[in-house]
Amino acid sequence: MNKKKIINDPVYGFITFQSELIFDIISHRYFQRLRHIKQLGLTDYVYPAALHTRFQHALGAMHLMGKALDILRNKGVEISAAEYEASQLAILLHDIGHGPFSHALEDSLLHNIGHESLSYLFMDKLNADFGGALDLTLRIFRNSYPRSFFHELISSQLDIDRLDYLKRDSFFTGVQEGNVGVDRILAMLNVTGDNLVVEHKGIYSIEDFLNARRVMYWQVYLHKTTVSAERMLVNLIRRAQVLARAGEQLAASDALKSFLKKETTLNDFRENPETLDTFGQLDDNDIWGAIKSWKDHSDQILSLLAEMMIQRHLFRIRLGAEPIRKNQVTEIRNGVMKHYKLLGSEVSYLFSHGTVSNEAYAEGKEINIIMSNGEVIDIAQASDLPHIKALSKIVKKNYLCWPKNVSL
């Protein structure tokens, strides 16, 4: 079989596979599952064209990794064929542990199990299936390979993952402020002491990158309507879990049922290979298929939330810097309880409150700039813009959401 395929990507143009192993990994069912998991979850409720997938993002990141490594090679950085392939595989598989609706259900469908941990377990399983061909990939992914810049390209403040998702998400949402100068940033990358640095001529591009990330978080990823929709989905899954664990019959795929009926820990994934394989069958379609059935369920809360999700009758939301007062929560709680005639133990499914936060630039994980005299300093010190330091502050916003037909 010809495994040197070409994919036409709307963001970068032609993407090619550099090895047969990469083709085989992409063809594997674990990776193909990413075709059916949207990159931005429920964001298409706000930006209708945001229907791109984790599959597309992974291919784009692999493409950018190749461009970055070619640039570093041209600058005299020695990169072997094995390191090149392993780095592309590491970024290709960095998101393979994402489940349906990605971050939205990370703390409900699974409890406190980050997708990074599952990505590593999937990669370890693939490594076994391919006879140890991913040994170096795993070392780079977990940062146990001595040449640290390979891991920094995969996971850092200025990694290939962020470069692709900002570029791609900006493209599909139409939010132009997030359109980062990827080619310019890649052209300015270099390596010193086995660590990734940016040449001083690229300072302004990094400033634009940090600003774009801040804008995309508040305008796209943490848009108030998206927050509302995600909280509704979380409440819906929570309700389904309570019913399933009480013995209620729920229409769902076998894979989804297994995660509704019992809480699954990271040890379950590590100790029972079937758990990982079952999770590897889950995608957005399992959730939507279940929701379409649940809208006709006899449970008032489950059917109501399912119908609201399908019809896009989303919770009203207040999102801002002001703290949510206790009397506001009490007022909404009582209003929801009265309107829907619910018990006190049931009302929490029909409203939600909490905090969302974003840190555009995390101190302690610097983007290092190499100056013309060879000195390596943090972007916050290299930039002449004072607000770069301000971007390191965690910005928090509080939200309170409830059904629009509940009057207060």
- Residue 215 in contact with residue 394, Cβ under 8 Å? no
Does pLDDT of 384 surpass 80? no
**Per-residue model confidence (pLDDT) at position 196:** 96
Is residue 359's pLDDT more than 80? no
CA distance 299 to 66: 51
Confidence at residue 380, expressed as pLDDT on a 0 to 100 scale: 79
Residue pair 73/65 in contact (Cβ under 8 Å)? The answer is no
With contact defined as beta carbons under 8 Å apart, do 130 and 21 qualify?
A: yes
Residue 363: predicted pLDDT: 60
Mean pLDDT on 26-32: 96
Average pLDDT, integer, range 178-187: 95
pLDDT of residue 112: 79
Give yes or no for residue 387 having a pLDDT over 80.
no
Mean pLDDT calculated for residue range 326-340: 93
Q: Does domain 6-221 have CATH number 1.10.3210.10?
A: yes
Query: Is residue 84 within 8 Å of 172, Cβ to Cβ?
Result: no
Provide the pLDDT confidence category of residue 132 given band limits of 50, 70 and 90: very high
The answer to which of 198-207, 260-269, 388-397 has the lowest mean pLDDT is 388-397
pLDDT, position 143: 95
pLDDT of 385 above 70: no
Contact criterion met (CB below 8 Å) for 148 and 195: yes
**What is the SS3 string spanning the chain?**
CCCCCEEEECCCEEEECCCHHHHHHHHCHHHHHHHHCECCCCHHHCCCCCCCEHHHHHHHHHHHHHHHHHHHHHCCCCCCHHHHHHHHHHHHCCCCCCCCCHHHHCCCCCCCCCHHHHHHHHHHHHHHHCCCCCHHHHHHHCCCCCCCHHHHHHCCCCCHHHHHHHHHHHHHHCCHHHCCCHHHHHHCEEEECCEEEEEHHHHHHHHHHHHHHHHHHHHHHCCHHHHHHHHHHHHHHHHHHHHHHCCCCCCCCHHHHHHHHCCCCHHHHHHCHHHHHHHCCCCHHHHHHHHHHHCCCCCHHHHHHHHHHHHCCCCEEEEECCCCCHHHHHHHHHHHHHHHCCCCCCHHHHCEEEEEEECCCCCCCCCEEECCCCCEEEHHHHCCCCHHHHCCCCEEEEEEEECCCCCC
Q: What's the rounded Cα separation, in Å, for the pair 54 and 32?
A: 10
What are 12-27's pLDDT values in tens digits?
999 999 899 999 999 9
- Among 312-321, 329-338, 350-359, 390-399, the least confident range: 390-399
Residue 386 is predicted with a pLDDT of 62
Mean pLDDT of 225-232: 96
- The per-residue pLDDT for range 260-291, each reduced to its tens digit, is 999 998 999 998 889 999 999 999 999 999 99
Q: Is 353 left (phi over 0), alpha (psi -120 to 50) or beta?
A: beta
Average pLDDT in the chain: 93
Whether 399 shows a pLDDT value over 70: the answer reads yes
Q: Is residue 37 very low, low, confident or very high in pLDDT (cuts 50, 70, 90)?
A: very high
What pLDDT does 94 receive? Answer: 96
Q: Using the predicted structure, report yes or no on whether residue 390 has a pLDDT greater than 80.
A: no
pLDDT of residue 330: 94
pLDDT at 340: 92
Bridge partners (DSSP) listed for residue 396: 357
Strand partners, 402: 316
Which residue do the tokens 């290939």 mark? 160
Q: Which two tokens stand for residue 371?
A: 């100056």
Is the pLDDT score of 11 beyond 90? yes
Is the pLDDT at 311 greater than 90, yes or no? yes
Residue 391 reports pLDDT greater than 80: no
Q: What percent of the chain has pLDDT over 70?
A: 96
**Mean pLDDT, rounded, for 343-363:** 86
Amino acid at 339: H
Q: CA angle at residue 45 from 260 to 227, to 5 degrees? A: 65
How large is the average pLDDT for residues 232-248? 96
User: Which of 147-161, 330-344, 362-376, 386-400 has the weakest average pLDDT?
Assistant: 386-400
Q: What per-residue confidence (pLDDT) applies to 378?
A: 87
